[in-house]
A = this chain, B = another copy of it.
Amino acid sequence: MRVIGLPEIRDAATRPLVFDSVRAALIAHSEGRTTSPPPIHLAFPDAEGDCHVKAGHLAGSPHFTVKTASGFYRNEARGLASNNGVVLVLDATTGIPTAVLADEGWLTAWRTAAAGALITHALTPPEIREVAVIGTGLQAQLQISWLHTLRPLTRVQVWGRRPEAAERLAAALRGQDINAGVEQVITAPCVIAATAATSPPVRDLSSAIHITGIGTDMPGKNELPPELFKAASIIATDDHDQCLDHGDFGNAVRSGHAGESADTPIGTILRDGMARTGLTIADLTGIGAADAALASAVLMALTPVLD
C-alpha cells in the first residue's frame, strides 16, 4: 500500500483535473450512478473535536474511497492545524487497499471549491463579474479563487463578522490579482456563503440573483435566510437527502419556505444547462462520490502508465 503525501498530491491535483473529476461525480450522482452511504460522525466534546467518515464510489471507477476528516478546534492554540484527514483508496474489483492519500484535508477543500465554483458559474449569467462572499475562512477564499478560474471577476465584496478577518481575506485575494475589498452591505448580484454559521449572518441579500451556500455540512447549521428559498426559481442541491437533512434547503423546507421536492440535482444542471430567471440558489453539503472521483484521478495521475 502506497502512502502519498501532500506535495505529490498538490502536483497531481491540478485545477482542470479537480474540476473534471468533481463535475463527472456530480453528474454521475444526479444519474444515480454513485454509491454514497450515510457518513459516520464521531464527537469528542472534551477535546472540542469531531470526525466525519465518508465513503463513496462512482459506478465503473476502478477505485472507491473511505475519507476520514477531523476538526479539532484547540489545535490552533497548540500551533497545529485544526483540520486533518486522510483518504484511503481501495480497488473496486478486489477490495484491496491501494493507497493512502495523506492530504491533510486539502482534497476535500479543493473538491468543495470546485463543486461550488462549477454551480455558481453555471447559474450566474455570463456577463456578471461582481460577486460577494460571506465568510472569511479558507473555503471562502477558495470559492472565489476557483470561480475566478472559470470566470475572471472584476470585483469581490468580502463580508465578515470580524472586520480584521474580512480585511485579511480581501488582502489575500488582492495578492492573487483579484480586485477585492471589505463591504458592510452586499450589493453584488452573485453571492457565495461559506461560513460555519448556525443562524444567517446576513439577512439582506436583496441584490442577489444567484446564491451558493456551501457551509451547512451538519445538522444545526444555517447560513442562508430560509425565506429566500420562497422566491427561488431554481433550488439546486448536490444531494437531495443530505441537503434535506442538514442543508439550508432542509432549513427552508422545515420552515415552510420550500417544498420537499422543489430541488434539482446540481449534476443535471451541469450536464444539461438550465434556463434561469429570478433568483437561483445552490445548496451544497458535499458528496462522497466527489471524494472518490478526485482521489481516483489523483492516484491515476501519479501512477506511471506501463505500456
Q: Does any Cβ of B come within 8 Å of A35's Cβ?
A: yes
Given the known inter-chain contacts A42-B57, A53-B55, please indicate yes or no for A95 contacting B66, CB distance below 8 A.
no
- Residues of B near A47 (CB, < 8 A) are 92-95
Please give the distance in Å from A249's CB to the nearest CB on chain B: 23
Task: Give Cα A114 to B203, complex, Å.
Answer: 58
Q: Does any Cβ of B come within 8 Å of A152's Cβ?
A: no
Q: Are B44 and A37 in contact (CB under 8 A)?
A: no
Which of B55, B78, B88 meets A86, CB within 8 Å?
B88
Annotate A64-100 by CB proximity to B: 1 below 8 A, 0 otherwise. 1010101110010010100111101010111111001
- Residues of B near A78 (CB, < 8 A) are 94
- Residues of B near A37 (CB, < 8 A) are 40-42
Please give the distance in Å from A85's CB to the nearest CB on chain B: 8
Q: Are A97 and B102 in contact (CB under 8 A)?
A: yes
Which of B44, B64, B95 meets A92, CB within 8 Å?
B44
Q: Are A95 and B49 in contact (CB under 8 A)?
A: yes
Q: Does any Cβ of B come within 8 Å of A3's Cβ?
A: yes
Task: Give Cα A93 to B41, complex, Å.
Answer: 16
5 contacts between A and B (CB under 8 A): A1-B3, A44-B92, A53-B53, A70-B90, A80-B96
